[in-house]
Structure formats: structure tokens, C-alpha cells
Structure 1
Amino acid sequence: MIFTLVLISGVLQAAEIKINSLAQLSNYAAKSGNVITMEPGVYPLTDYLSMDSMRVRHDRQQFQYITFTGSNNVFDLTGVEIVVDTELRTALRPPIHSDEFLVTGSDNTIKGLTIRCVGDGNSPGGTVLQVAGTANVLEDITLYVKGSYPYGYGDLFGKGGPTVIRHKKHSGLLITGSETKVYRSKIYNRSFGHCFFVQKKAENVYFEDCYAEGEVRSTDDILAETSGPAVEVDFRTWTQNREGEYVVTPGYMKSLCEDGFRTYGQIKNINFKNCIAKNTRAGFELRTNEGIRLENCTTIGTERAYWIGDGAVVKNCRGDANYGPLMFVEGSGVDVELIVDSAESDRMVHSLVTIQGDHNKVKLMAEKGKERKKQLPILVGYTHPEHGESMSPYSEGETSELTLINQTGMPIKIGSMVSNSKIVTNGEVLENKGQNIKIVNKR
């Protein structure tokens, strides 16, 4: 370990500390006011915490591997990869929703770190990394997440509530601390759990140039199984399909993880710029009512791309309806400008967008020369399907004072609970059951 000392305003402070072990990282994670640079390399966590030590840590209720309790630090971990054997979590037996690496201090910057989960262990519901302190900054963080059970079915058999198969979830990055900023960070999720998510009334959280990726699997492939968890429950699902049956239905595509970017509760001022979600369940599921803004964001191959609540602002964003709807609007006072990508597949999709609520402004655009070929309806005055599940039926929802500009060429269906709205469209109006609806046809 090498460090230098400098005199600042009469106070002797550590300017830079160089370390080369996880034990040293854990030590300085509990201190404050330092600049720590770790030697690049691959660091197996088992070199620091043995499998045999997990029982002692459980008895001491030490459920985190490393906790950053210090404040006002800079951790330059560029080129550092911590390899986490998921069997450690199985041996530790932590309580549900406990985290493996935890930041409780404030005003820290952590940059360049990669955490890679390996092995066949699982977690009862925690995350790889949680940021709980205030005003922390993450830069160029990469997480490779695995370690859930069962994996390979997405939420077909349940999630946080009622379940047909009890899940052991394992998520990526949880933010519960206000003023957190995340730049250029990536999560590659091969686990049933969220990528990036925000909880516990965290406010003023900012994401820029971040990337969330899951993987997808067709329901036909799932139904072809001859053994395993799905077969053991006769493919019985926790939500009904459009025929009213609780069974896996062929023809759909499922993400095997949860959401790319997710908020829970009524949190305020969450901003996303230049972020991408690929093959996740929802790309951006942001159903809070207190200041969501997305700018230049993209979804690719999600089950549902954008799901927004009251007051959300979506500008210059884009996404496809390849495996599921592009957007659910369930709030009021939203302002949306969204480009519809032309990607299509042979999977069943039942709507391009559903819109409910009051005083919403929604503009849907297609790129010139790249319009969708398959007709997919825009459902005005309709709710999202139950639990957002593509196989489930839609219902009608009250909608008024909507301004919808449809430049996609896709058709529109207007439900009976829509009133006092204006629709400008270059697509066909298949049905209009609303009251006082002004339709301007631009075809």
C-alpha cells in the first residue's frame, strides 16, 4: 500500500491510497476523506471471504460482503473485477431483500468496478449492490447478475405477490438514497430480478448512458419442456390468459428477468438520459406520480417498453413493439413524444399503446421509410392488461381531455369511457365509442 499526504487548509489529508486486495478495499470502505485506487485485476471474493466463514457471518448477522460506510471518498476501481460465487449466498442464508455490496455513506464516487456473479447458488431476494447513502456517484459500473430460482420463465409463475412457484430473486442495482447519480453503467441480467430500480422515497436520482439487458424465451419453448419446475406445476400460471385460463399460452415471448429500469412508490424527480433497455420485462416501468423525465431513451425487444404514471415527460425516446406493447399510459398530465421502431416478430402482441387518464398529450411517430407493416391498434380508453402480462385481457378505463397525434399509420380504437378529446391520425379509426371526440384524419 502506497499513499501520499498533502496539506490542505492546515489539515493533513490522504491524497491518494493505492491498494491491491479486497481486504484493503473493505478497510477503506469504512473510512472517509480518501482517494483510493485499486490495482486492476480479477479478485475472487472467496479469496477474501471463505465458504466456511459464511456460517459465522450469518450468526453475526453480517449479510453484506463489503459495506461502504465512509463518506467523501473517491474509489477508482477501473479494471477491477470482483468475482462472486453465488454459492456464498446459499451458504450465508441471509434474510430476504438483503444486499451483497452496500453503500451507506454519502458523497462518495465509485468508478470502474465490475462485479460478476458465477456458480449455481441463489439469493432469497437481495441485490448485488445497493446505494442507500445520499449524493453518491457511480461511474462505469458493470454488473453481471445471476443466482435466482427458478430461472427461465420470467414472471409466468409469480413474482412479488401470489406465486405458483416460490421465487428466489436476485437483482442488480437498488437505489434508496436521494441525490444518487449513475453514469455509463451496465447490467447484464441472467437472473429473475430487476436491473436498475429505485425505492424508499429516494428523490432526485439521475441516470445517464446506462444499459440494462436481459434475455428472452418463447412460451412455445417453455411448453416443450418435459421435466423441471414448469412441468411440475402443469404449466399453471398466476395470471389468466385471454381465454380466462391460468396456463402458459403459446405464441408469446417472455423476458427471463424483471424490469430494466423500475421505480416503486411515490418518489420524486427521477431522470433518465440516453438509457437503453434490451430484452427486459419492462424497459422503463416508472409508475410514480412525482416527476419522471426520460430523454433520448431506447427499448429493444421488451415485453412492454414504457409504463408511465402521472406527470411523466417522455421526449425523443423510441422503442419497438416486437414482443409486446410500446407503452402503457395509466396516469394523467403526461407529455409523450415517442418514435415507433419498425421491428416486428411472429410473437403475439395485442396493442401498440394503451392510454387512460386525464389531460394527457401523446405524440407517436414513425421514422420515414421504416413504418411497421403489421397493423397494431392504439387503444384509447383502455387499461394495461392484468399485471402487464401480454397474455392477459385488457379492460376499459376513464379517459378525458386527451390530445393524441398519431403519425405511425397504425389504427386507433376508442373505448366507451373516453370523452372530450382530440385525435389527429394518419391511421384508420377502427371504432369510436367515445363522447365528444374530435378526429382529424391526416391520411
Structure 2
Amino acid sequence: MKLAQYILILVVLFISNISNATEIKINSLKELVNYASKSSNVITMAPGVYQLTDYFTLDSMAVKHDRKAFQFIVFSGSHNVFKLDGVEIVVDNKLRAALSPPLHSNEFLINGANNVFEGLSFKYKGEVNAPGGAVLEVGGKDNTLKNVVLHVSGSFPYGYGDYLGKGKNNVVKHQKHSGLLITGFNTKLLACKVFMKSFGHAFFIQGGDNTYFKDCYAEGEIRSTDEMLAETSGPAFDNDFASIYMNYDGEKKIPSGYMKSLNECGFRTYSTGKVTAVNCVAKNMRVGFALAKVSLDNCEAIDCERGYYLNKAVTKNSRGDAKYGPLLYLVGDEPSQIDLTLTPGESEMKVHALATISGTGHEVNIKSTDQNKRKKSIPIMLGYGMPSSGEIASPLPAKDANHIKITNTTTMPIVVNETASDCVINTNGIIEGNAGKNIQIIKN
């Protein structure tokens, strides 16, 4: 069944389920909270800017919470349509900071089924140190979000990407704040946008299955490591510019000469089922698309620290640059089919690889729209993997690469490591260090 037919059937079924729905007009957060737990309604909220502090006060937050999680609003009802075009909820990060004890929780939660959310923006303000978590979690089944926008801030420390900490490994204890988390089934996100001014993921999936993105956009911020090293105060300066990563000089220090994303991934999966992304864009993120079990069609990574980190993937008509880091890290022992175009754009920043390819059975096609105009030569590296957490200033490790087919119509060279075997390379570029076993090379 074609995807368009499948979506049409879902729409028809949804309409039939709410044919007797009550149409309700509201103009306050209190009313929105009330109808969030009810079912089979069509709720239209008056456009406007709604301050969350008008509903939750700082005093109401500063109490002991025995629960491990706290949400501002839980949408637990089912078979609802929320018409929220022009509605913006402003969240002061002081509300998150006032939670006592600090809780790592997601602030807005959808856990009902068969709901549609049209519009709605979340805007966070204030740069206080607050508990981690995501702005919005979408659980439940068969929920659809359209034109939902998140403006995320409120992590600490901010301005160094993951150099000062990631997970339990840290130089400075950090508090992340991510955007939109998907834990549900058959979730659809249409024309949703996340703008990150905090350390965390934009869109990410944990345990969800059959997630569908279309026309979605993730944007973060980037900063040169030279600018970080020029600081005369702050958490990096106070720790002698230490990093959790080993750089090419063999030191756990922030290195010079690189461009760093201040955020995490644009689109990210953790132990998930099927994912589809169509016409999606990630800009200025640590990874544009860090995905497994994924089908990508007409997607683009712009000015990311690395464009694509893929496993069990199919990409079509997709593209990205290598201005600040690799276009592609490809891994996995199940075959991927990769078709990527290297888009125009170069920088003076250090970039060690156009792509690293490891694993088994992949078919990789890398092409370029400006192959005769590029000044820098950045290699495609076969038999190499992704460094720790993909850190662009850490050495590339050797990894096995078997039964892989590469078509390289760029002019970039291909480096073949001794860990590569039984591979076929069709290339416009030169071959360097052909140390592999049974490597067939076809020159165009």
C-alpha cells in the first residue's frame, strides 16, 4: 500500500471516530489543561502569547515532589483535534529550576491516542541552570503533530558542545535540555520545527516505532574552538580548557582550528523501530541525522559537525556539505543503501574525512555538484569507523569493512585501510594506501 493511501485511510478513520466530537473554543491555559485529559473534542484556542507563569507560579514549583517526573501539561485524552495555530506558550526556565529536588523529566507530555495537534509554539526564556529533560514527549499511539514549533534554551554549561560533558563523563556537571522526544507508535510529525539554543537533541526517538517525519526542520548553533580558547573566564577557562575527548595531539584538551556544534543531534534514534524522514533539514547540529532502521528521502544536512551517522539505512536524493566535518559516518553489519550528494561549500576549519565506511554489504554512492571547483581534498575512508561520539578532533579508528560497493563520482580520494576486504570501488578520485584484501578498483 502506498504511503499516501495509508495516510488517507488513517485520516478517514480518524474523522469517523470524532464525527460526534464536541467543538469547543478556549482562551486560557487553565482551559487547555482541562481539555487535555478529555476525549473526542475539537478544541480551538484563541491565538496569543500565553505565559506559563500565569498558570504555574514559582511558589507552586518550590515544593517536594515524590515523583520521578513532573509535567506542566499532560495530554492524556484521545481522539481529539487541538487547533492551536498562533498559540505560543512561553516558559520561564526559572519554573524548571524551582523544582525541588531537581527532576530530569519532560515538561509537556502527549500520551493519549489518535490525537491531532495543529500549530502550537513553545518558547523558553532565561538561561538558568535547570533540571534536564525534553520540552515535549510524544507517547501513545497514532498521534499527529503539524506545524508545532519549539524554541529551546536552558542547559548548562552552554557554548562548548559536548567538550565539557556527555552522559556520566564530564569535566563540568551539566544539565541538558532537549527538544522533542518520541516514545510512541505511529507518530507523525509534519512541518514541525525545533530551534536549539541549549545542549540537547532537537528531535529524538527512544523506543518509538514507525515514526514518520515530513518537512521537519532542526536548527542549532555553531562556534569555533578558537573562540572558545580565547575566553578569559567561564567553565572552560576555569578547567584549563579540558575536554572529555582525546584530540590528535594526544591531549584531552579543546583543540584549535575546528568548528563545533553547541547542540546534539538534529534527528536521533535510540533502540527504535522503523523511521521515515522526507524533505527534512538539519542545520548547525552535532549530527544532522543520527539514525538506524531509517529511510531518508530528499533530506539535507547544512553546516553540521557531521552530516549523517547511519546504520541499516536507505537514503535517496539526500545531500549535505563537509564544511566543518564529515558528510557521512556509515556503520553496521546489515546492508545500507546510501545515495548522497556533497553540496557546495568549504571552510578553513580542519576536516579529516569526507566519509568513513565500515561494516558489511553496503552500497554507497557519493556524488558532487561542484567537484571541479573544490580547493580542499578530503578523503573517503574505507575500513575506518567513527571516533568516540563522533568527535571531529579525535583520531579515526580502524574498523572492518567487507563486501562493500562504493561509487565515487566526486574528485575526492579514497583511502583503503588493511581492514577492508572483498570490496568494489568505482571512482573518479585517486586511491591512497590500498592495503585492503581483494579490492577491485574501477577508474572512471
Q: What TM-score, normalized by structure 2, do the two folds share?
A: 0.93
1:250 aligns with 2:256: yes
* 2:332 paired residue number: 331
Measured at CA, do residues 244 and 62 of structure 1 come closer, stay the same or move farther in structure 2, by a change above 3 Å?
closer
Counterparts in 2 of 1:403 and 1:14: CA distance versus 1, 3 Å: closer
- What SS does the corresponding residue of 1:387 show, helix, strand or coil? helix
Instruction: Return the alpha-carbon distance in structure 2 between the equivalents of residues 242 and 77 of structure 1.
Output: 50
| CA deviation string 1:272-320 (max 9, x = no partner) | 000000001000011x3xx3111100000101110011x2101110000
Output one character per residue of 1:246-285: Cα deviation in whole Å (capped at 9) or x when no partner: 00110001101111000012x2110100000000100001
Of the candidates 358, 362, 365, which is equivalent to residue 363 of structure 1?
A: 365
Matched, 1:170 2:177: yes
Task: State the Cα deviation string for residues 388-420 of structure 1 (Å, max 9, x = none).
Answer: 101100111111111100011100100001111
Flag as ranges the 4+ runs of structure 1 deviating above 2 A: 11-15, 55-62, 93-97, 120-124, 368-373
**Structure 2: distance between partners of 1:144 and 1:404:** 40
* Paired position in structure 2 for 1:5: none
Is the alpha carbon distance of 1:432 and 1:67 closer, same or farther for their aligned partners in structure 2, counting shifts above 3 Å? Answer: same
State the aligned residue count: 428
The aligned counterpart of 1:184 is 191
| 2-structure distance, mates of 1:85, 1:398 | 49
Q: Do the aligned partners of residues 257 and 425 (structure 1) sit closer, same or farther apart at CA in structure 2, a change above 3 Å counting? A: same
* Residue 102 (str. 1) matches residue 105 (str. 2): no
Task: Choose from 15, 19, 37 the match for 2:26.
Answer: 19
User: Could you report, residue by residue, the CA deviation over 1:191-250 in whole angstroms, capped at 9, with x for unpaired residues?
Assistant: 001100000x21100000000000000000000001110011111101100121100110
Say which SS state the counterpart of residue 35 (structure 2) adopts. Answer: helix
Q: Deviations over 1:91-142 (max 9, x none)?
A: 1236543111101111111110000000122332211100111111000000
Pick aligned residue for 1:259 from 259, 265, 274: 265
Range that drifts further, 53-62 or 152-161: 53-62
SS of 1:99's equivalent? coil
The CA distance in 2 between the partners of 1:215 and 1:113, in whole Å, is 23
Secondary structure at 1:26 match in 2: helix
Q: In structure 2, do the counterparts of structure 1 residues 317 and 94 end up closer, same or farther at CA, with 3 Å as the change threshold?
A: farther
Cα pair 2:69 2:105 within 8 Å, conserved: no
Query: Corresponding residue for 1:153?
Result: 160
**1:166 to partner: Cα distance:** 1.0
Instruction: Please list, as runs of the form range in 1=range in 2, the aligned pairs for 1:333-348 lying within 5 A after superposition.
Output: 333-348=335-350
One-letter code of the match for 2:308? Y
Q: Does the C-alpha gap of structure 1 residues 93 and 372 become closer, same or farther in structure 2, counting only changes over 3 Å?
A: farther
Once the 2 structures are TM-superposed, how far is the Cα of residue 13 of structure 1 from its aligned partner? 4.1
- Work out which of the residue numbers 276, 280, 291 in structure 1 matches 2:281: 276
Q: Where does structure 1 lack aligned partners over 5 or more consecutive residues?
A: 1-7
Amino acid of the residue matched to residue 268 of structure 1?
Answer: G
The aligned counterpart of 1:303 is 305
Q: 1:322 to 1:94 in 2, by over 3 A?
A: farther
8 Å Cα contact 2:108/2:137 also seen in 1: yes
Q: Which amino acid aligns with 1:327?
A: L
- SS of 2:98's equivalent in the other structure is helix
State the match for 1:315 in structure 2.
316
What is the rounded CA distance, in whole Å, between the counterparts of 1:146 and 1:12 in structure 2? 39
Determine the C-alpha separation between the residues in 1 that align with 2:372 and 2:158: 35
Aligned pairs for 1:400-419 (under 5 A) are: 400-419=402-421
1:14 Cα offset (Å): 3.9
Work out whether residues 371 and 409 of structure 1, in 8 Å CA contact, stay in contact via their aligned partners in 2.
no
1:145 alignment partner, SS class: strand
What's 1:196 paired with? Answer: 203
Provide the alpha-carbon RMSD of the alignment.
1.7
Secondary structure of 1:110's partner? strand
Amino acid at match of 2:211: V
Cα deviation code 1:124-180 (max 9, x no counterpart): 221110011111100000000000001100000121131111110000000001110
Q: Deviations over 1:331-369 (max 9, x none)?
A: 130100000012111110000000001111000011157
Tell me, what secondary structure is at the counterpart of 1:151? coil
* Alpha-carbon contact 1:148-1:170 (below 8 Å) kept: yes
Taking a change above 3 Å as real, the CA distance of residues 395 and 60 of structure 1, as seen in their structure-2 partners, is: closer
